[in-house]
Amino acid sequence: MAAHDILTSPHPTLRDRATKVKAFTSKLDQLIEDMIETMRASSGVGLAAPQIGVNQRVIVVEYAEESEDPEATPKPPKLYVVVNPEIVRHSKEMVSGNEACLSLPGYFGEVDRYETVTVKGLNRKGKPTKVKATGWLARIFQHEIDHIQGMLYIDRANQVWRIEEDEEEDSPTMV
């Protein structure tokens, strides 16, 4: 496994539509492992293959829903690997929230996203998988799927601003 450098805007690869994965090989498995390591090393909660310069429709997401009870033991994060992901259903409700991105360091913005999405694709072994996500997890999936379509959150943002050094601690999780 190896962590990769993350491409930053305006790198042209970030604007390309990624190609569909057709073969599940050891090379793909290595890509997935490298993506997971890169995401974790960068303190991200999601990563798309184009962010490390690979023009394939692969995303990884790792997130733990926060408990409503502050006394509860935190849930461990769940790892999702989705190859050729697509949103097949979404709520009518849109929610505004702040997003940041590993490919746009130092910035965050306010973006409207669907409250709930259903994502279909293939797992790392090529078997069909389906994820119904709500809230922040739904936002992460939409953000990563945008990446494989050549979009950045700034394309959807109502406003974007630079993070000041004293805001770093309060900034949203990087996706």
For residue 59, the one-letter residue type is: I
In angstroms, rounded to a whole number, what is the distance separating the alpha carbons of residues 77 and 75?
A: 6
What is the sign, positive or negative, of the torsion defined by CA atoms of 12, 18, 23, 25? positive
Is 86 assigned a catalytic role? Answer: no
Whole-angstrom CA distances from 30 to 1, 37, 124, 130 are 7, 11, 10, 22
Residue among 71, 144, 165, 168 flagged as catalytic: 144
Side-chain half-sphere exposure of 133, counting CA atoms within 13 A: 28
Whole-angstrom CA distances from 55 to 50, 59, 123, 138, 163 are 5, 11, 18, 23, 29
In angstroms, rounded to a whole number, what is the distance separating the alpha carbons of residues 24 and 128?
A: 13
In angstroms, rounded to a whole number, what is the distance separating the alpha carbons of residues 48 and 54?
A: 9
Cis peptide before 70 (omega within 30 of 0): no
Catalytically active residues, by annotation: 144
